[in-house]
Structure 1
Amino acid sequence: MQRATKIVATLGPASTDAETIDRLVVAGIDIVRLNFSHGSLDDHRQRLERLHEASRKHGRTIAVMADLQGPKIRIGKFAGSKIVLKPGQRFILDAECTLGDSERVGLDYPELVDDVVPGDILLLDDGRIVMEVQSVQDAEIHCVVRQGGELSNNKGINKQGGGLSAPALTPKDMEDIQNAAMLQVDYVAVSFPKSGADLRLARKLLGKAGSQALVIAKIERREAIDNLDDILNACDGVMVARGDLAVEVGDAAVPALQKKIIRQARAMNKFAITATQMMESMIHSPVPTRAEVSDVANAVLDGTDAVMLSGETAAGEYPVATVQAMARICYEAEKSMDPAALDRHFLDLVFTRIDQSIAMAALFIAHHLKVKAIAALTQTGSTALWISRLSCNVPIYALTNDIRTRYKVSVYRGVYPLMTRYQGHDRDEQLFEAEEELIRAGAVEVGDLIVITCGEPIGQPGGTNTLKIVRVGEHRPA
């Protein structure tokens, strides 16, 4: 049994050198995240060069995600870098203030004054500081501190319950979409989308920049929950970004929302990534807490395609150990999943497309015949995606001659990309090439039973319409 759940690791100061990146590849990362909120374009390019070198060395397919910063609303700077606020204290968020003090601080988003009214609750520094709006006077938001503490430069601001009007794509994001296209990333994550329109705009800008990267919607606004169907229809996958989401909807609501988002994404044939503080303690500790182990395992049991590490690998003291620990947790959680649940899923499924019907038939046959592998010969990766939406504990190999599809499918749960070299139009030759590639990869042996899906006529674009049950090595083309 291979690990089906994929691991996303953020590259940063702690994972910039070639040795650490090489060890992360060996430890089992499947996707790297470039956080465009930090670092220069040259920093990202240098890390990618080292990643590609390590990937070639170890024969691994590692996809790349660019994560846009989005409209993160922040306070300005203080004269002394930080202040301490006490409950009941009056404090002003001043859009015209250049350097803050114990009474006021500036804003990097002056439009905030138009988004709040008396009685609104503002949460600063991921909810560590809580303020209630008392009045709005010109460029000033007068507040009273409800929960105090230390407040330092450039901390973020959220409005409890959502409702901020900031657009999802800022001018910086639009520039970074150009940079992402230049770096030839495989996925672009859009921060703080409110509706499908934000994702459609991102896709349009990517297309203009010459990129076919998949678009990921980061679910971190209250409005995104209300518009989830629209967002899912407009994107290729979602990220459950639990940090800002918890601040907007309340931390107690997040576990149920996580399950809902993953379930709905899978039902609509989209992939899902679970993120934020999954192994947070391992920034400074060589072992995770029991709560973190349970958190990662529960995300796996929820059906997430991937789990993501942020500061743990970008700035932590134990980036490689963290990936190794996460891989172990995912593997053990997957072993406990009930394959009999697959039959129950089929009771309510209705298929209207031939290619989707073939994908589900392959899954059903693989489960009941106990085959060694499913081989999906695919140009776009769609068949592999459909098969991966339900789990039968049988590995799915996406065999493609399209380099973009090879990386595109890397995030799909239980799907492993393999490149094929066959370019002809003979079905038997193509199936034989698929068998040979599976054997070369160590996925199967002669005598193993496998299920193969493909499209006919061979070599022509179109949906998958053929399924074949094959005993490896039994037949060779004439």
Structure 2
Amino acid sequence: MAGTHVFFEPPKSFQSILEEDKDLSVPASTKMGCTLGPQTRSVEVLEQLLLAGMTVARFDFSWGTMEYHQETLDNLRTAMRNTKRLCCTMLDTMGPEIIVLNRPEHPISLTAGQTLTLTCNKSAAASATCLPISYPSLAGTGLAPGSQVFVGQYLFTGSETSSVYLTVQEVKGDEALCTCNNSCVLEGLALTVHIAHMRNEAPILAETDFAAMRQWGAANRIDYVSVSFARNAADVAAVRQVLDRECA
């Protein structure tokens, strides 16, 4: 049997793995997506992100106005021109996420043991005694005395100082009277609401999502739409129909 030569590559050291690859003939296959927010929206920081390898910029429409995100996008375009680096753009929808509405300018302080009302009345003002939420109705949520509800700073959930755990005492129509289990200060870009064991039946696109996709996404020729909290294939199909109908 004719012999064949077998070649083995010499083992690589850990140090060589950490060193920058000088061979630029093969383009990078991994995409690096970054969420652009208050600390990452200036031209200077965006230039650093692009030079560090950012290839997808995510605009999170769970918070912020279209004007705010437009300023960030304009800064990104300036940074791309300055660095000569291209970057895709992605609109991330709010979807059926439940958030606190009509928040005041100042933080909301809550004390352990106090009562707090959750309401679906979207015209109510958020305060230390009442939190209006974006969900259309409490009917069908399974909310009942003893249910646990969590309200916390967006992307900072779990912090005892900026999140509150509630126990429902009574449900009347679209209002739930709750007791605060801990003291905290609610603050941040957005406050999300999580009801334990709840099946969220809200539409996959919030009203604000339609406006964002139509007025901001289509106008700016955004590359991708990220569908938050997609529950099944029907949700994805519904978003595709909206894109084909209103953003083509």
Give TM-score scaled by structure 1 length. Answer: 0.39
Matched, 1:34 2:70: no
Q: 1:120 aligns with which of 137, 147, 170?
A: 147
The alignment's C-alpha RMSD in Å is 3.0
Q: Cα offset for 1:49?
A: 4.1
Match of 1:189 in 2: 226
Sequence identity percentage = 26
Match of 1:142 in 2: 177
Q: How many residues align?
A: 210
Distance 1:173 1:144, change over 3 A: same
Distance 1:21 1:107, change over 3 A: closer
Match of 2:95 in 1: 70
Q: Cα offset for 1:101?
A: 5.0
Distance 1:145 1:15, change over 3 A: closer
Q: 1:73 is matched by which residue type in structure 2?
A: I
Match of 1:177 in 2: 213
Mapped contact 2:138–2:175 kept (Cα < 8 A): no
Mapped contact 2:118–2:131 kept (Cα < 8 A): yes
Q: Cα offset for 1:3?
A: 5.8
Structure 1 gaps of 5+ residues are 212-478
- 1:316-465 equivalent positions in 2, closer than 5 A: none
Mapped contact 1:122–1:130 kept (Cα < 8 A): yes
Match of 1:329 in 2: none
Match of 2:236 in 1: 199
3-state DSSP of counterpart to 1:193: coil
3-state DSSP of counterpart to 1:156: strand
Match of 1:15 in 2: 40
Output the CA distance in 1 between the equivalents of 2:73 and 2:28: 24
Greater share of helix: 1
Distance 1:57 1:151, change over 3 A: closer
Match of 1:160 in 2: 196
Q: 2:245 aligns with which of 175, 184, 208?
A: 208
Distance 1:19 1:92, change over 3 A: closer
3-state DSSP of counterpart to 2:33: strand
Q: Deviations over 1:2-59 (max 9, x none)?
A: 7653221222343334333223222221111122234443443444344345435544
Q: Which moved more, 1:195-204 or 1:142-151?
A: 142-151
Q: Deviations over 1:269-328 (max 9, x none)?
A: xxxxxxxxxxxxxxxxxxxxxxxxxxxxxxxxxxxxxxxxxxxxxxxxxxxxxxxxxxxx
Q: Deviations over 1:46-73 (max 9, x none)?
A: 4434434543554433111111122332
Mapped contact 2:167–2:180 kept (Cα < 8 A): yes
3-state DSSP of counterpart to 2:86: coil
Match of 2:108 in 1: 82
Mapped contact 2:100–2:126 kept (Cα < 8 A): no
3-state DSSP of counterpart to 1:70: coil
Q: Which moved more, 1:181-190 or 1:74-83?
A: 74-83
Mapped contact 1:78–1:105 kept (Cα < 8 A): no
Q: Which has the higher contact order (CA 8 A, sep 6+)?
A: 2
Distance 1:36 1:100, change over 3 A: closer
Output the CA distance in 1 between the equivalents of 2:187 and 2:73: 32
Match of 1:106 in 2: 132
Distance 1:4 1:149, change over 3 A: same
Q: Which moved more, 1:94-103 or 1:34-43?
A: 94-103
Output the CA distance in 1 between the equivalents of 2:70 and 2:130: 39
Mapped contact 1:82–1:150 kept (Cα < 8 A): yes
Match of 1:60 in 2: 85
Output the CA distance in 2 between the equivalents of 1:210 and 1:78: 34
Give TM-score scaled by structure 2 length. Answer: 0.70
